[in-house]
Amino acid sequence: MAETIVIVEDDESIREMLRYYFRSVGYEVGCFDSGEAYFREGGDMDPALFILDIMLPGMDGLEILRRLRAGPKYAEVPVLMLTARTSEIDKVKGLETGADDYVVKPFGIMELQARVKALLRRAGRPRPGAVLTCGDLEIDPAAREVRKNGVPVELTYKEFELLRLLCARRGTVLTRDDILQAVWDYNFAGETRTVDMHVKTLRQKLGEGYIQTVRGVGYKMP
């Protein structure tokens, strides 16, 4: 059965272009021009991935994302945000709310498809079950849970994957390109700020001292 992508985008030309393209490469597609329309009409769909525009009339993309992440049904369904905004704070808000990736408009359709395929591949990949321990952190891949001194820490999908990678390679300096390749499955040419923003949100949630910056190289867990 073909995987379903739900697209919420108010620009009709972009919405129809995405509908046509993703159907042409084998996906089922549900398109909505607003968050209200999706929650009113899309409840019976079983999406493998959401593509949400941030700038929407009424309920914006971040509010849709909050609602999706509020319950267990869509807690781990990948979400890719489309945005015309370029400021770091807007991207950080999306990542903190639970987005897995973002694409800044205008974008190339092949780039978008590459990111969609990478998110779907990661979401469907079997996960090893060994619990990782890094100091007072416990990372349980099978349950997708992180505990700090026994207290659960809520992380997004990509934050979890990044933390698991750093913990599994503890003591090794990983470049931003290494991390992009391992966590995102492909190279973002010129998009290494994605890694920096995920590290920033991890530090906010875990506290300082867990992830070290190696200036001019990348990151490691000591």
Contact in structure between 134 and 66 (CB atoms under 8 Å) = no
The neighbour count for residue 26, using CB atoms within 10 Å, is 8
Burial track 42-78 (b if 16+ CB lie within 10 A, e otherwise): beeeebbbbbbbbbbeebbbbebbeebbeeeebeebb
Q: What is the pLDDT of residue 136?
A: 92
What is the Cα–Cα distance from 165 to 185, expressed in whole angstroms?
A: 13
Q: What is the pLDDT of residue 83?
A: 83
The pLDDT tens digits for 164-221 are 889 988 888 988 888 887 787 655 554 678 889 999 999 999 998 999 999 888 999 9
Residue 137, classified by CB atoms within 10 Å of its CB into exposed (0-12), middle (13-18) or buried (19+), is: middle
The neighbour count for residue 14, using CB atoms within 10 Å, is 16
Q: What is the pLDDT of residue 171?
A: 87
The pLDDT tens digits for 126-138 are 444 568 888 899 9
What is the Cα–Cα distance from 1 to 26, expressed in whole angstroms?
A: 10
The amino acid sitting at 150 is G
Q: What is the pLDDT of residue 51?
A: 97
**Whole-number average pLDDT of the chain:** 85
**Portion of the chain with pLDDT greater than 90, in percent:** 41
Q: What is the pLDDT of residue 128?
A: 47
> Higher confidence at residue 43 or residue 207?
207
Tell me the two tokens of residue 190. Answer: 């010129």
Q: Is the pLDDT of residue 146 over 90?
A: yes
Degrees to nearest 5, angle at CA 161 with 138 and 129: 55
The domains of the chain, with CATH numbers, are: 4-124 (3.40.50.2300), 132-220 (1.10.10.10)
The pLDDT tens digits for 73-124 are 888 899 999 987 666 666 667 677 788 888 888 888 988 988 898 888 877 6
Find the helix or strand (DSSP H, E) in which 121 lies. helix 109-124
